[in-house]
Amino acid sequence: MSIWVWVIFSGFDSDVYFCDKILADIMTSHAKVFGDLYVTMCILFIYNEDPMVDKYYSYIPYFIRFKQCIAVYLHSKDPKNTGREHLFNALKYCSAFPVISYWITPSTIFNLWIIAVAVNSIYSFYRDVAIDWKLSFFTPPGFKLCLGFEKSIAIILTFCFDLHVTRRWIWIFFKFESESAEINKDPYIPLHNTSS
């Protein structure tokens, strides 16, 4: 637990290692899971929840990664060229804050949430694909696969394995849907009553 306190509350003068970046990126991918875990624990053990605390749990991974980007920028030797990339990367994680903040009620704020989601999704996609993963979709001559594969069969097998892993992951949604349809033989269940 002390490592997390150090990561969250340490200053910007601490070094950011690759393993810390990867862990924080994994946490941002699971930010919604952290919020849902809080709600689940409240339902199971406390029987009460505060919806605002759910949002704070979702903020933590993005805040950690944002802080790491700023720390790397402050330590960069060339702040005008390569250092700027870290600021743009920090902007990617910062753009998630309005998405989490505006998801309060489906009213006029919902329209702001839609705009925030669109900006965050488009900018994050561009940063991930073009900058972080260095795939050149956005520059000529186009996509270049330079991952060190010497034979195309290795690439094909790798993508087949990835598809298999995706299939093994996504089956649970279809299984739950199938089981739910089997238990609830009535096909006309309105969506607003599914939470009961």
Tokens of 93: 């994680």
Tell me, yes or no, whether 170 and 113 share the same domain. no
Contact residues for 57 (Cβ-Cβ < 8 A; gap 6+): 31, 34, 35, 37, 38
Q: Residue 1 pLDDT > 50, yes or no?
A: no
Is there a contact between 80 and 18 (Cβ–Cβ < 8 Å)? no
Please tell me the distance from the alpha carbon of residue 148 to that of residue 143, in angstroms, as a whole number.
15
Q: Residue 23 pLDDT > 70, yes or no?
A: yes
Tell me, yes or no, whether 85 and 163 share the same domain. no
Tell me, yes or no, whether 174 and 115 share the same domain. no
Tell me, yes or no, whether 151 and 110 share the same domain. no
Residue 91 DSSP class: H
Is there a contact between 35 and 57 (Cβ–Cβ < 8 Å)? yes
Q: Residue 10 pLDDT > 60, yes or no?
A: yes
Please tell me the distance from the alpha carbon of residue 9 to that of residue 80, in angstroms, as a whole number.
27
Residues 86-105 have pLDDT tens digits of: 899 899 999 988 888 877 65
pLDDT band of residue 31 (cuts 50, 70, 90) is confident
Tell me, yes or no, whether 28 and 94 share the same domain. yes
Tell me, yes or no, whether 54 and 122 share the same domain. yes
Query: 16-45 burial by CB neighbour count: b if 16+ within 10 A, else e?
Result: beeebbebbbebbeebeebbeebeeeeeee
The pLDDT, as a whole number, for residue 38 is 74
Residues 103-135 have pLDDT tens digits of: 765 566 778 888 888 899 889 888 877 777 766
- What is the total count of domains within the chain? 2
Tell me, yes or no, whether 76 and 135 share the same domain. yes
Tell me, yes or no, whether 168 and 191 share the same domain. yes
The domain in which residue 78 lies consists of 2-140
Please tell me the distance from the alpha carbon of residue 96 to that of residue 131, in angstroms, as a whole number.
18
Residues 138-153 have pLDDT tens digits of: 555 555 555 555 566 7
Tell me, yes or no, whether 112 and 177 share the same domain. no
Tell me, yes or no, whether 107 and 20 share the same domain. yes
The pTM of this model reads: 0.62
Of 36, 108, 25, nearest to 65 by C-alpha is 25
Tell me, yes or no, whether 82 and 23 share the same domain. yes
Average of pLDDT values for 63-77?
85
The pLDDT, as a whole number, for residue 119 is 92
**DSSP states along 113-131:** HHHHHHHHHHHHHHIIIII
Which of 100, 119, 140 delimits the end of a domain?
Answer: 140
Tell me, yes or no, whether 133 and 158 share the same domain. no
Q: Residue 83 pLDDT > 50, yes or no?
A: yes
Which of 95, 114, 140 delimits the end of a domain?
Answer: 140
Tally the C-alpha atoms within 13 A of residue 126's C-alpha that lie toward its C-beta.
12
Q: Residue 81 pLDDT > 70, yes or no?
A: no
